[in-house]
């Protein structure tokens, strides 16, 4: 594989993110395991509430990972796992992740996760949380590899069952350096 590069995506790359999202949705045996996001949601993530990391081979976007730090209303997953109220401002979410089917099992998701986690730590977050379908074995194993553990099983996204995965982010622990 040509060398992989990882960078924070700006809104100029939203068309590519949406195209890759569609490719990934089309590749799934069970599309309900994956929550497709709208352009407006992704734009807000880039501009206001977090970031999207992209993995590129040459100039081709082959994977992306969303990380959300500003959590509105009832979306803070810390509430679902009973975190103390004082901890809620220090929660970050792993948002959507997708790797092009031709580029899976090469460690790309793991690299994106490590960089996103580093970003969360640098922003002073102490907890990372994510939702995943109990039937999405690749994704569950991906989170377990990161040291995350299931902390609750709830119904989200129009009544779909989701594990809430959690890990504490120890201060001073090291992750990958920030992407360019």
Ligand X SMILES: CC(C)(COP(=O)(O)OP(=O)(O)OC[C@H]1O[C@@H](n2cnc3c(N)ncnc32)[C@H](O)[C@@H]1OP(=O)(O)O)[C@@H](O)C(=O)NCCC(=O)NCCS
Distance of closest approach, residue 85 Cβ to ligand X, in angstroms: 27
115 touches ligand X by CB under 6 A: no
Residue 136 touching ligand X (CB under 6 A): yes
For tokens 């580029």, the residue is 103
Binding to ligand X by residue 108, rule CB under 6 A? Answer: yes
Determine, following the binding rule CB under 6 A, whether residue 142 of this chain makes contact with ligand X. Answer: yes
Binding span for ligand X by CB under 6 A among 15-23, 76-84, 103-111, 168-176: 103-111
Contact flag: residue 24 with ligand X (CB under 6 A): yes
Cβ atoms within 10 Å of 18's Cβ, excluding its own = 15
Instruction: Count Cβ neighbours within 10 Å for each residue of 83-118 and write b for 16 or more, e otherwise.
Output: beeeeeebbbbbbbbbbbeebeeeebbebbbbbbbb
Task: State residue 121 phi and psi, 5-degree precision.
Answer: -60, -45
Q: Nearer Cβ to ligand X, position 89 or 137?
A: 137
| Phi/psi at 162 (5° precision) | -140, 135
Question: Which residues bind to ligand X, rule: CB under 6 A?
Answer: 24, 33-34, 97-99, 104-110, 132, 136-139, 141-142, 145
């Amino acid at each position: 594989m040509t060398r992989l590069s990882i960078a924070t995506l700006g809104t100029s790359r939203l068309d590519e993110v949406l195209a890759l999202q569609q490719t990934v949705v089309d590749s799934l045996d069970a599309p309900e395991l994956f929550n497709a996001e709208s352009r407006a949601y992704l734009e807000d993530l880039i501009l206001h509430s977090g970031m999207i990391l992209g993995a590129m081979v040459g100039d081709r976007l082959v994977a992306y990972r969303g990380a959300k730090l500003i959590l509105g209303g009832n979306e803070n997953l810390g509430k679902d796992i009973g975190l103390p109220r004082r901890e809620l401002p220090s929660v970050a979410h792993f948002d959507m992740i997708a790797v092009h089917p031709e580029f899976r099992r090469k460690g790309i998701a793991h690299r994106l996760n490590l960089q996103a986690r580093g970003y969360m730590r640098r922003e002073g977050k102490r907890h990372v949380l994510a939702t995943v379908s109990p039937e999405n074995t690749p994704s569950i194993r991906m989170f377990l590899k990161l040291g995350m553990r299931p902390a609750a099983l709830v119904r989200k996204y129009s009544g779909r069952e989701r594990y809430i995965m959690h890990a504490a982010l120890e201060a001073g622990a090291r992750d990958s350096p920030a992407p360019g």
